[in-house]
Amino acid sequence: MNFRNGTREEPEINLIPFIDILLVVLIFLMLTTTYSKYTELRVNLPVANADQAREHPKEVTVSVGQDGRYAVNGRVLEPASVDALVQALRQAAPNGSEHIIVISADAAASHQAVVNVMDAARRSGLQQITFATQQALGR
C-alpha cells in the first residue's frame, strides 16, 4: 500500500517579500542616519597675502631656537629661562599691551619652549601674540 502521490513537489522559497522588507529597512536606515564628520579639533587657519606685509613699529620679535634658546629682537638671552624672558620682554615693550609679540619658532623647537614664550608674554602684560611662518616651497 503506497498512499503517497507519485509526484513529489519541490518546496519553493519566495524571495520577493524578503527583498521588499530589506528595501524598507534600507530606506529607513538611510533616512535616520546622520552623515556628519566628527573631528576632535576644528581649526580654521587664517589666510594671509604676502604682498600686504607691513612693518609694525610696535612689534617685538621673539625667536625660539631648536635647542631652546631665546632671542628678543635679535638679542640672544643667555639664561634661557622664563624669568629672563619676562625681563627682556618688559624692556623691549615698556608700554605693555600696545605691542605685538611675533613668535618665530624653529620647526624642531619643543612645544614647551613656545609655551614658555607665551607664558612670559602673559606675565609681561603683553596680550597680542602672533606666530611667524614661512611659505612652503612649491606653492
Q: Are 63 and 70 in contact, with CB atoms under 8 Å apart?
A: yes
Mean pLDDT, residues 121-137 taken together: 82
pLDDT of residue 2: 63
Structural domains of the chain, ranges and CATH numbers in brackets = 56-131 (3.30.420.270)
Instruction: Considering only residues 106 and 46, tell me which one the structure prediction assigns the higher pLDDT.
Output: 106
Mean pLDDT, residues 113-121 taken together: 91
Residue 44's pLDDT band, with cuts at 50, 70 and 90, is: low
Mean pLDDT, residues 40-68 taken together: 67
Share of the chain above pLDDT 70, in %: 73
pLDDT of residue 41: 46
Calpha distance 67→15 (Å, rounded): 71
Q: Give pLDDT tens digits for 24-41.
A: 999 998 888 876 655 444
Strands (E) in the chain, as ranges, are 59-64, 70-72, 75-77, 100-105, 128-131
Q: Give pLDDT tens digits for 62-83.
A: 888 888 888 888 888 887 788 8
pLDDT of residue 22: 95
pLDDT of residue 53: 54
pLDDT of residue 54: 59
Residue 3's pLDDT band, with cuts at 50, 70 and 90, is: low
Q: For residue 77, what are the contacts with CB-CB under 8 A and spacing of at least 6?
A: 69, 70, 71, 84, 85, 88
Q: Are 80 and 68 in contact, with CB atoms under 8 Å apart?
A: yes
